[in-house]
A and B are shown apart, each in its own frame.
Chain A
Amino acid sequence: MKRTIITVVGKDTVGIIARTCNYLAEVNVNIEDISQTIVQGFFNMMMIVDTSKCTKPFAELSEELKTLGENIGVTIQCQHEDIFDMMHRI
């Protein structure tokens, strides 16, 4: 199973989590962990998700999340977990 990290960064507003999670439910992506903080009005969220049963290919998922982010006014990024594991774990 390949885990994916979704990060959401931007100005805080109503419904960021709701709209992101709704989209993920639509494409059958399971959320395993969410951590979220607000620093000086800036919304900062990281989700660990399982995309193995996702109904869309990764590139499309990534692109649609990016577009969703633009609609909400935040930056949404979607990356395989490996890059963080490689960099921060020996």
Chain B
Amino acid sequence: MINMFEVNETNHMISEENLDVRTITMGISLMDCIDADLDRVNQKIYDKITGLAKNLVKTGDEIAGEFGVPVVNKRISVTPIALVGGAACKTPEDFVTIAKTLDRVAHEVGVNFIGGYSALVSKGMTHADELLIRSIPQALAATGNVCSSVNVGSTKTGINMDAVKLMGEIIKETAEATKDDSCMGCAKLVVFCNAPDDNPFMAGAFHGVTEADAIINVGVSGPGVVKHALEKVRGQNFEVLCETIKKTAFKVTRVGQLVAQEASKRLGVPFGIIDLSLAPTPLIGDSVAEILEEIGLERVGAPGTTAALALLNDQVKKGGVMASSYVGGLSGAFIPVSEDQGMIDAVNAGALCLEKLEAMTCVCSVGLDMIAIPGDTSAATIAGITADEMAIGMINQKTTAVRLIPVIGKGVGETVEFGGLLGYAPIMPVNNFSCEKFINRTGRIPAPIHSFKN
């Protein structure tokens, strides 16, 4: 039988260490909404999502109440809209109408984000893919809750450099289109290599074409819990350190598994995966950077950071996979700058630069995330940074992503404020030596030799 010590430990994690379920994300296939008539596409999308997700928020809140663990976000991911709208949309503006429909649906069912305004172009772009990508700046400026992502490369296909170049321009245009709102559009736009089909976390969530009609994916969190557990083993050897992280990750993931099972049962929607990510928030004590510092770094960015992060990421996975049979999504430690107070402090202290962050993305679960850069950074430079990050993903057979925010009208040393979970970010310097000639070559980077496994 459960004893008082165990009950207190769990409740302490929730009340003092910010243990929560970060998101219940319902993945919804919109393949059956495809139609040649744009109005009918929009109507079908509206009907399908409101039908399936009408109880999502209520159910999430009920589960949170009954188990006493916060379920912070309730979200929806949909089939990449480039596929859904391809038959009906003849212009970027046509795609924007779908974005507006998604936004309306999000308001209607009460979710705070809806992801999947996406295109998968890792080898080539269809006409519809290109129209969608070109509509992104307008779509993100015209909506509040829609998230967009573009997959421009994979280990199997190589990197579509035409898409990388285009995304450099689109990121700039999105920043420009939302400059009166802290360039917020760019905070909702991710460029991926090896994007997972079942990621529950925004802004990169979409419902892959290999998925069922509807599924429930759950993203857990709990950097504060790991940090707190590590405080108790300060100075001990790596074996003890790793054991502690694993045990903690196990406990955190089990809570996610419980919530996922309950949500799936109550909503009548099959359970997909648990995403084991350590996702920080701007709250004090909810930071991945603080874990790395607890492991033994004065500041994130100090020598040893990449090794510490590699260790953390691996132990989180080892603990988590024991706790759930279906682990997927991104599953690892996130290192967004603006959403993590410890990361912000490290940047302000001069300990952490873009190049070190790039190195860290080789071993963490995602990539260059929520990084503010000067507004006058060229599209080619943004494309170059993106290409580097995509190459890391392609060669290492892992997901990598880029979510950069060129802050229009601001430069290094200034700060941009996004508010809420997105936090604020100091603008970081970028290496401005030109890569234009590299980016202007057309075509794609071939798949690496180790992708030929057949």
Chain A complexes with chain B:
yes
Where the two chains meet, the residues of A that have a C-beta atom closer than 8 Å to any C-beta of B are 5, 7, 33, 35, 37, 44, 46, 48, 58-59, 62, 77-88
Residue pair A78, B257 in contact (C-beta under 8 Å) = no
How distant is the Cα of A7 from the Cα of B3 in the complex, in angstroms?
Answer: 11
Residue pair A78, B67 in contact (C-beta under 8 Å) = no
Residues of A within 8 Å of B62, CB to CB, are 59
Residue pair B6, A84 in contact (C-beta under 8 Å) = yes
B258 to chain A, nearest CB (A): 4
Q: Which of A33, A48, A62, A83 contacts B69 (CB 8 A)?
A: A83
In the complex, which residue of chain A has the Cβ closest to the Cβ of B257? A86
Residue pair B7, A5 in contact (C-beta under 8 Å) = yes
Q: Which of B7, B67, B251 contacts A80 (CB 8 A)?
A: B67
Residues of B within 8 Å of A77, CB to CB, are 11, 68
Q: Which of A44, A78, A87 contacts B10 (CB 8 A)?
A: A87
Residue pair A84, B7 in contact (C-beta under 8 Å) = yes
How distant is the Cα of A38 from the Cα of B255 in the complex, in angstroms?
Answer: 29
Interface centre among B66, B69, B258 (most CB of A within 10 A): B66
Where the two chains meet, the residues of B that have a C-beta atom closer than 8 Å to any C-beta of A are 1-4, 6-11, 62, 65-69, 251, 254-255, 257-258
Residues of A within 8 Å of B10, CB to CB, are 83-84, 87-88
How distant is the Cα of A85 from the Cα of B10 in the complex, in angstroms?
Answer: 10
Residue pair A87, B68 in contact (C-beta under 8 Å) = no
Number of A-B residue pairs having CB atoms within 8 Å of each other in the complex: 60
In the complex, which residue of chain B has the Cβ closest to the Cβ of A58? B66
Residue pair A46, B255 in contact (C-beta under 8 Å) = no
A84 to chain B, nearest CB (A): 5
Residues of A within 8 Å of B65, CB to CB, are 58-59, 62
Q: Which of B2, B67, B254 contacts A48 (CB 8 A)?
A: B2
Residue pair A78, B258 in contact (C-beta under 8 Å) = no
B17 to chain A, nearest CB (A): 13
In the complex, which residue of chain B has the Cβ closest to the Cβ of A75? B15
| Given known contacts A82-B67, A83-B67, A84-B10, A48 and B1 CB-to-CB distance under 8 angstroms | yes
Residue pair B11, A7 in contact (C-beta under 8 Å) = yes
B299 to chain A, nearest CB (A): 32
How distant is the Cα of A58 from the Cα of B2 in the complex, in angstroms?
Answer: 21
| Given known contacts A79-B66, A83-B67, A44 and B4 CB-to-CB distance under 8 angstroms | yes
Residues of B within 8 Å of A84, CB to CB, are 2, 6-7, 10
Residue pair A80, B66 in contact (C-beta under 8 Å) = yes
Residue pair A87, B8 in contact (C-beta under 8 Å) = no
How distant is the Cα of A42 from the Cα of B20 in the complex, in angstroms?
Answer: 26
Residues of A within 8 Å of B257, CB to CB, are 86
Residue pair A33, B1 in contact (C-beta under 8 Å) = yes
How distant is the Cα of A5 from the Cα of B280 in the complex, in angstroms?
Answer: 29
A-B interface, 10 closest residue pairs, ranked by CB to CB distance from nearest: A79-B68, A86-B254, A83-B67, A86-B258, A88-B6, A84-B2, A46-B4, A87-B251, A87-B254, A80-B66
Interface centre among A33, A46, A62, A85 (most CB of B within 10 A): A46
Interface centre among B2, B69, B254, B255 (most CB of A within 10 A): B2
Residues of B within 8 Å of A35, CB to CB, are 3-4
How distant is the Cα of A58 from the Cα of B8 in the complex, in angstroms?
Answer: 21
A-B contact sample (4 more), CB < 8 A, given A35-B3, A35-B4, A88-B251: A7-B11, A44-B8, A46-B7, A80-B67
A70 to chain B, nearest CB (A): 16
Residues of B within 8 Å of A48, CB to CB, are 1-2
